[in-house]
Amino acid sequence: MTLASIVDWEGILDVVAVSFVAGVGVTAVYALAVLGITRVADANRDGRAREAAAYGALAIVAFAAVVAACIAGIVVLTH
Amino acid sequence: MDSDIILVIVVAAALAFDFTNGFHDTANVVATSISTRAMAPRLAVLFAALLNFVGAFVSLEVAATVGSGIVEGSAITTTVVFGGLVGAIAWNLVTWYFGLPSSSSHALIGGVVGAALAANGPDVVSFGEGVVGKVLVPAVVAPTVAFFVGGLAILMIYRIVGRLRPGPVNRGFRLGQVISGGMLALAHGTNDAQKTMGVITLALIAHGDIAPDDFHVPTWVVVSAATAIALGTYAGGWRIIRTMGSRIHKMDTAQGFAAQGAGATVILASSAVGFPLSTTHTISGAVMGSGAAKRVSAVRWGVAGNIVAAWVLTLPAAAAIGAAAYGVSRLFGTGAAGPVVVTLIGIGLLLFAFVSRARRGPTYAAAEGA
């Protein structure tokens, strides 16, 4: 009996892969949302409307992506 | 009649374990939110309790592993399950008493394995595929992965927001911690409540209510386990919150977010595969990773070492207590007398521990100041 034969390596690799992609990816995307919100405030204060709109769009898209990822994770788990 | 009494005691003990599990593991879920002041302590605990309740309904993969993958079904009697639960509850309370965030899951599995060993010898325990393959290897992999995911996540975050003004960034990550803390609470309910469901189902199989080849978790078991873990979470374990929240390392809001996000992802992914891992190990790994990535010396490795020692001891200690509880029960025969006596002894020791702890003063204030 070897470790290779008693361990569900496929399951372990799934956990490792999903954890790295989702864990690092979602937190990085959320950081982009924080970046967007902060830059919107700075750009508005300095009267740079186009830049503010671009960062606003980044914040909204990034935040929506985080929420979608959370919902997708729960849906995958329930099936 | 005797078997019915034992079943009632086992279900009550399992729900008591689930309560202590929520009580013990509240810290894993809320400590980072509290220590970064993303949420007020009471609100964080209530939020975690609600999402723990919801999480218990999400998946049953882990319950199937605990209920059918580690100890041979034919070796399980209600007294064996009872012994295992006593081992798990006792070890949970010992580690709570000393403020150590050890694993409730490994305590439960250790307790059941110990009681089964005492009852039937080593042949009935699947040490290879069951204990090593489904418990020990995931127990090492999960916190290690959480450590690196937490570390990488915080490095990415600092790269993206590192040059921004701290005020808005902190507010942004405080909001983020509401999301990541919610996901972590959900993940906790998903993985941990299922272990109790698995054990109650084992007892129902042993009692003859469920056929061994038709493993399924009855709805009343899901609802009662979800309720017990949610109530335990709300009751809270303030001593461990303090250890997790500030004694490993002081966190900023971005680190708290990274740690919770990493922990939630690893636990949810493991629940989907059916690994009954330790949520405590996993979130501790993520907390250490998010601290070490910023500065290795930021992590108080002495505290981390104590936690690791508690992890290593959990399986054998709970197994020894589970075996002893089974042995004492059998001294009184195969009827209900043994479990009743052991329960009374346990309640007596529990009261003694609570009174002794209460005399040392409140711990809530300490957590508030963490």
CB neighbour burial string for B232-267, b if at least 16 within 10 angstroms, e if fewer: bbbebbbbbbbbbbbbbbebbbbbbbbbbbbbbbbb
Residues of chain A contacting B274 with CB distance shorter than 8 Å = 11
B112: pLDDT strictly greater than 70 = yes
CB contact under 8 A, B133 and A8: yes
What ipTM describes this predicted complex? 0.90
Cβ-based contacts of A1 with chain B (< 8 Å): 128
> Are the C-beta atoms of residues B83 and B118 closer than 8 Å to each other?
yes
Average pLDDT over residues B337-357: 83
For A15-24, how does the pLDDT look when each residue is reduced to its tens digit (9 = 90+)? 999 999 999 9
pTM of the model: 0.79
B208-232 average pLDDT score? 87
For the stretch B290-300, pLDDT in tens is 888 877 666 66
Q: pLDDT tens-digit profile of B246-263? A: 555 567 889 989 999 999
Measured CA to CA, the distance from residue A7 to residue B132 in angstroms comes to 7
In this prediction, residues A60-71 reach a mean pLDDT of 94
Contacts of residue B268 in chain A, CB cutoff 8 Å? 73, 77
CB A59 within 8 Å of CB A36:
yes
Report the pLDDT averaged over residues B24-36: 76
Per-residue pLDDT, B364: 40
Q: Which of B137, B180, B183 sits opposite A7 (nearest CB)?
A: B137
Chain A environment of B58 (Cβ under 8 Å): 74, 77-78
Percentage of chain A modeled with pLDDT above 70: 94
CA nearest to A64, candidates A38, A26, A35 = A26
Q: Are the CB atoms for B10 and B82 separated by under 8 Å?
A: yes
> Which residues 6+ apart lie within 8 Å of B97 measured at CB?
B353, B357
**In chain A, where are the structural domains located?**
21-78
Do B58 and A73 count as a contact with CB atoms less than 8 A apart?
Answer: no
A33 at interface of B, judged by CB pairs closer than 8 A: yes
Beta strands (DSSP E) in chain B are none
Closest CA to A31 of B145, B184, B155: B155
Q: Is A75 on the interface with B (CB under 8 A)?
A: no
Q: What is the pLDDT of residue B247?
A: 58
B293 CA to centre of own chain: 26
For B43-97, the pLDDT digits (tens) are: 888 888 888 888 888 777 777 777 667 888 777 888 888 999 999 888 888 887 7
Q: What's the confidence (pLDDT) of residue B238?
A: 64
CB contact under 8 A, B173 and A34: yes
Average pLDDT, chain B: 82
- Judged against a pLDDT cut of 50, whether residue B365 lies above it is answered with no
Is the Cβ pair A77, B271 closer than 8 Å?
yes
